[in-house]
């Protein structure tokens, strides 16, 4: 509560013991990462840096080509969004640069009556906040438990969560949909959120396990010695210290839900509204107005681009690979 935490998430390593060195590219870039200790084995290869040689020209050439590959489709999302349709969707040779710009696509898409924008956006937000909140509510005890279990058992349980992430969404969604139809939960935000949580929970747990492991074990022992119960020690003493990781986990889960469309599509009840990605899917597969898809795409993309940049340092390879060790 009082002093800011000593950035425990930074030291979080793999989900399974053996913390590895903090590794994201953004952290040890040109600005310099953790200062190497004298005689440390991790001396950076200084001879690579900032020398304008032939190999550097090749390097920057490759970087330029790859960057173009990654950026061009994102540029197109907005180009198509803000250029009159005759130069995009209905053009035989769509120009790469916009001959003129317009708001009309957005206006037409957002005021379409067959896929009303506001209910769709509201449903997407509802589901995403539910998925994010549930990820934290289940994620904290799960991650705490895993970080305190013996490595053998923790590894088995991590594998279970990992397997959940590999199961085909569409395979799971159909029987769930059949059941939700029976109990009348079909198409409700909670039903969509409960299924999307399958994708969000494993990543959340791996991220939080790392954060818990980054805390000194004595913190909990100290609180327990002082008379706090285990729950109080966790929620009163440990959880406040991993707030940055919790925020990241919440946003990551939020983002996964915001983008998810397979569960949302199979559980979509045509009698009520659909999430933004489902409306985009329907618009581009011949069951809706493509302009709706274009407008919804632009709007759905803006928050997730910002979130991705913001969450970059929390997207760790060890978490995404469920604690793989080299």
Q: Which 3 state secondary structure label does DSSP give 54? A: helix
Tokens of 102: 């317009």
Q: Which CB atom, from 175 or from 227, has the smaller least distance to another protein?
A: 175
Determine contact, residues 191/180, Cβ cutoff 8 Å. yes
How many CB atoms neighbour CB 59 within 10 A? 12
Q: Which CB atom, from 71 or from 101, has the smaller least distance to another protein?
A: 71
- Site residues for another protein, 213-272, by CB under 8 A, read 230, 255, 258-259, 261-262, 265-266
Burial 183-215 (b: 16+ CB within 10 A, else e): eebbbbbebbbbbbbbbbbbbbbbbbbbbbbbb
**Per-position DSSP letters for 170-186, written without gaps between them:** HHHHHHHHHHHHHHT-T
Of 210, 203, 239, 234, nearest in space to 221 by CA: 234
Q: Is residue 162 a contact point for another protein (CB under 8 A)?
A: yes
What's the min distance (Å) between Cβ of 58 and another protein? 10
Rounded to the nearest angstrom, the gap between the alpha carbon of residue 202 and the centroid of all alpha carbons in its chain is 12
- Site residues for another protein, 121-150, by CB under 8 A, read 138-139, 141-142, 144-146, 148-150
**Span of 100-108, 111-119, 241-249, 300-308 interacting with another protein by CB under 8 A:** 300-308
Site string for another protein, 86-115 (x = CB under 8 A): --xx-xxxxxx-------------------
Q: Is residue 170 a contact point for another protein (CB under 8 A)?
A: yes
Q: Which CB atom, from 79 or from 241, has the smaller least distance to another protein?
A: 79
- Site residues for another protein, 24-83, by CB under 8 A, read 24-26, 29-31, 41-46, 48-50, 56, 59-60, 62-63, 66-67, 69-71, 73-74, 76-77, 80
Q: Which CB atom, from 3 or from 100, has the smaller least distance to another protein?
A: 100
Give the separation between CA 5 and CA 8, rounded to whole angstroms. Answer: 7
């Amino acid at each position: 509560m009082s002093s800011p935490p000593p950035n425990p998430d930074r030291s979080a390593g793999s989900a399974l013991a053996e913390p590895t060195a903090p590794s994201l590219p953004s952290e040890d870039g040109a600005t310099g990462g953790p200062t190497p200790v004298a005689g440390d084995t991790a001396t950076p290869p200084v001879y690579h840096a900032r020398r304008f040689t032939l190999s550097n020209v090749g390097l920057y050439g490759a970087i330029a080509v790859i960057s173009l590959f990654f950026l061009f489709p994102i540029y197109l999302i907005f180009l198509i969004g803000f250029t009159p349709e005759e130069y995009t969707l209905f053009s035989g040779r769509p120009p790469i640069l916009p001959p003129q710009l317009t708001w009309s696509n957005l206006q037409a898409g957002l005021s379409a009556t067959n896929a009303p924008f506001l209910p769709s956006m509201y449903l997407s937000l509802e589901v995403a906040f539910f998925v994010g909140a549930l990820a934290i509510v289940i994620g904290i005890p799960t991650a705490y438990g895993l970080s305190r279990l013996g490595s053998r058992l923790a590894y088995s349980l991590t594998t279970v969560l990992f397997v959940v992430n590999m199961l085909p969404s569409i395979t799971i969604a159909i029987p769930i949909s059949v059941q939700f139809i029976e109990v009348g939960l079909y198409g409700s935000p909670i039903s969509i959120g409960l299924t999307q949580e399958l994708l969000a929970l494993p990543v959340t747990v791996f991220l939080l396990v790392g954060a818990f492991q980054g805390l000194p074990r004595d913190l909990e022992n100290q609180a327990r010695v002082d008379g706090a119960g285990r729950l109080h020690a966790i929620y009163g003493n440990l959880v406040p210290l991993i707030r940055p990781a919790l925020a990241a986990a919440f946003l990551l889960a939020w983002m996964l839900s915001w983008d998810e469309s397979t569960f949302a599509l199979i559980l979509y009840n045509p009698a009520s509204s659909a999430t933004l990605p489902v409306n985009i899917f329907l618009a581009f597969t011949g069951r809706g107005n493509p302009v709706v898809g274009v407008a919804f795409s632009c709007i759905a993309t803006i928050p997730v681009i910002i979130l991705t940049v913001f969450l970059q340092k929390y997207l760790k390879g060890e978490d995404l690979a469920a604690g793989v060790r080299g």
